[in-house]
Amino acid sequence: MTQDRPQTRLPFMKMHGLGNDFVVIDARRIPVAMSPSLAAALADRHRGVGFDQLAVIHADEAADIALVFYNADGSTAGACGNATRCVARHEMTRTGKTVLKIRTERGLLDVVDAGGGLTGVNMGQPLLDWRDVPLAREVDTRALPIEGAPVATGMGNPHCTFFVEDADAVDLAARGPEIEHHPLFPQRTNVQFAHVTGPDRLRMRVWERGTGITLASGSSSCATAVAAARRGLTGRKVTIDLDGGSIHIDWRADGVWMTGPTAHVFDGVLTAEFLEAVR
């Protein structure tokens, strides 16, 4: 990561989990010094490739691989559950393994082949104390002093979950950025709007910090499941229906497990001309 970005063709993979889409670069193959400007240029859906998040794969002595995540605005993300599952599925296919340990900013995450083409990841224990989310001051994380009394949860990224009568009626394009930049969240926040649709089933829509509206979000799904259980709206094992499909969350004693499908869409190559233009 410390080397200058090579002025050569740089391979990448395009993947998605429930429409939450990613560019994945394997830095084990070609060293790349990712920068905010390069990440943002890649995220441009008109002049680059387009993604919700970028994942860069690195070698790790204590894990099968390590992942570093970037948002579409070039900022870094501490966690990205769907990208973790996508890269894990690729690595399982490549190596024949059915269990992996992947290092992220959240620590070492366990990933398993859940069968039926599904991949499960343990996203770790939720962070429920205001200091750990983090929030700007001491408040009850189960009911923040924001209109709508949302729940705050840390899942490697900060999350703010609103339970509403109808998530589909929310003007997400307006409310999302407003809450993302709320002063109670010094690192900004992901924003979710959800409502209960049945026993242990939720409908959720998401605004991701540094990216905007996405069809799905893994860490947001985990945070919403935790928030719903803390509020007594559901049990600790739920199905969440997002714009891009359904995902299963199970808040167990060892952490919050997320299980769902993944897709490896295509492989591509970034040209030297593109790389040089965003130096």
Between residues 4 and 15, the one the model is more confident about? 15
Q: How confident is the model at residue 50 (pLDDT cuts 50, 70, 90)?
A: very high
Render pLDDT for 213-227 as a digit per residue (tens, 0 to 9): 999 999 999 999 999
Map residue 225 onto helix, strand or coil: helix
Please give the model's pTM, rounded to 2 decimal places: 0.93
Q: How confident is the model at residue 2 (pLDDT cuts 50, 70, 90)?
A: very low
Mean per-residue pLDDT of the chain: 95
What would the mean pLDDT of 149-166 be, rounded to a whole number? 97
Q: Are strands 20-26 and 237-242 parallel, antiparallel or unpaired?
A: unpaired
The CB-side HSE value for 13 (13 A sphere, CA atoms) comes to: 19
What would the mean pLDDT of 56-62 be, rounded to a whole number? 96
Buried b (16+ CB within 10 A) or exposed e, 103-141: bbebeebbbbbbeeebbbbbbbbbbbebeebbbeeeeeb
Of 3, 1, 48, 2, nearest to 21 (Cα)?
A: 48
Task: Walk me through the domains of the chain, giving residue ranges and CATH numbers.
Answer: 10-122+262-277 (3.10.310.10), 151-253 (3.10.310.10)
Q: How confident is the model at residue 32 (pLDDT cuts 50, 70, 90)?
A: confident
Q: Rounded distance, CA 38 to CA 54, Å?
A: 10
